Amino acid sequence: MTTDLSLQPAHVQLRALDHREISSRELLDLHLARIDTSTVNAVVTRDDDAARQAAHAADERRARGENIGVLDGLPLTIKDSFETAGLRTTSGAEDLQNHVPAQDADAVARLRHQGAVIMGKTNTPAYCQDLHTDNALFGPTLNPHDPARTVGGSSGGPAAAVAAHLTPADLGSDLAGSLRLPAHYCGVHALRPTHGLVPARGHIPRPPGWLTSSDMMTPGPLARDPRDLDLLLTALTTPAPSENTPWRVDLPTPSKHIDQLRVAIWAEDPSCPVDSATTKALTTTEHVLSGAGAVVRHIAEPVDFSVSTRLFEQLLHATATATATDEAAAEELAAARALRDEDTSPRATFLRHRTQTHRTWLLAVEERARLRATWQRFFTEYDVLITPAAPTAAIPAGSRTLMVDGQERSFFDQTGWANLTSHVGLPSLVVPVTTTAEGLPIGVQIIGAPYADRDLLAVGEELAAVLR
């Protein structure tokens, strides 16, 4: 059994640790051996000595009958955009290739506080700014299902590492689908928690040392089983002592059985068409949930897709300006002022969003609040919403073209469905459902009301139980 444990989900590995079937040090070494022989280039920085010391400490705690948290002794990897004390953090950028933080990002500190053993860092595009995971420091991460296909981005290293059984789980991040797209392409589970549940301080970008982060960036876990995401959600919502926080989040457990759920399916929209394989995955999901007794209804856009996307892009470009140099910001402002009023090109829109006035941004924030209220009303009628995770399975590695059933679409349509929730902070779960004829994973996205994270995980577990 010991040699098979690295192939098991995190909750099974933890149970083996609790039953003394394996030590944390032995479990760590099993994963390090898999990383040594892996060809997917997902884990890019390691400190085996520090990891073995942490595993040894976990074993000693168990020998004394102590347990410090829900992840005690479990080896994990961390996306290279999160600062890790004493362990190189580059965010895939050449100018950070020697950056060794003195302090953990808050989310990492929470995982350590719950006993996680950090065994390495996983690859990301430079500063998390691409939908392919490739950079000049470490090169491309390969999709474990087909090395000629992308892993997506920016949490491509985490998704590939989980899919290849190099780690039972990983901590990724999601601003514009960066967590959910790679999970979909690599066939693993990923949760973007309700925004604000997990602190983002110590995530790059922003630059090292900044205390603030984007108002849309959300850390979240990836794993091979929804039950593992639940464990990591508990860890990630439990403050570490260094935060000096006098409270703790107690997320509600599911209040309804699956046969009591009201499920909506938003299967298509002309703003972001999906291919036939994706439609098939949604049909499979509908059959599974209907078979379990849930009331499932197809609906047409609970919000206006194109209006939501426009607002998302406006807020995205606004938050990205925080780290621009004074010189670059001045150049963009001059370029925006030189635009003709009738210029509606993508470049013109980009420049206007990057240089919008504070009043314009405040109006956008008000529009976002109204959009959130629309979603809140929707979730009084339905418990969960299921949408495509992306328009297609993983596209060719390095491609800048998205083809949907033979029709070319915008490259950024890959995250169109994910970004319905990115700026309004709703919890969103990606669950693998089926595969294409070529063996590429296809998943769906499950969306819920704020703080209904565990409701989503319960639906994901129902799907996983039937589809295993």
The single residue of 154, 308, 422, 428 carrying the catalytic annotation is: 154
**pTM of model > 0.95:** yes
Cα distance between residue 173 and residue 180, in whole Å? 9
Same domain for 402 and 350, yes or no, is no
Same domain for 128 and 264, yes or no, is no
Report the sign of the C-alpha dihedral through residues 190, 179, 442, 270, in that order: positive
Same domain for 297 and 183, yes or no, is no
Is 424 among the domain residues?
yes
Same domain for 38 and 153, yes or no, is yes
Same domain for 421 and 330, yes or no, is no
The single residue of 23, 178, 214, 428 carrying the catalytic annotation is: 178
Domain ranges, residue 153: 2-243
Closest to 75 measured CA to CA, from 8, 135, 140, 20: 8
Is 438 among the domain residues?
yes
178 is catalytic: yes
Same domain for 295 and 406, yes or no, is yes
66-75 b/e (C-beta count within 10 Å ≥ 16 → b): eeebbbbbbb
Per-residue pLDDT of the chain (468 residues; tens, 9 = 90+): 445 899 999 999 999 999 999 999 999 999 999 999 999 999 999 999 999 999 999 999 999 999 889 999 999 999 999 999 999 999 999 999 999 999 999 999 999 999 999 999 999 999 999 999 999 999 999 999 999 999 999 999 999 999 999 999 999 999 999 999 999 999 999 999 999 999 999 999 999 999 999 999 999 999 999 999 999 999 999 999 999 998 888 999 998 999 999 999 999 999 999 999 999 999 999 999 999 999 999 999 999 999 999 999 999 999 999 999 999 999 999 999 999 999 999 999 999 999 999 999 999 999 999 999 999 999 999 999 999 999 999 999 999 999 999 999 999 999 999 999 999 999 999 999 999 999 999 999 999 999 999 999 999 999 999 998
CATH at 457: 3.90.1300.10
The single residue of 79, 91, 173, 214 carrying the catalytic annotation is: 79
Same domain for 139 and 230, yes or no, is yes
308 is catalytic: no
Judging by DSSP bridges, how do beta strands 262-265 and 75-79 pair with one another?
Answer: unpaired
Same domain for 324 and 294, yes or no, is no
Number of domains within the chain? 3
Same domain for 232 and 295, yes or no, is no
User: How wide is the angle at C-alpha 82 spanned by C-alphas 397 and 134, nearest 5°?
Assistant: 15
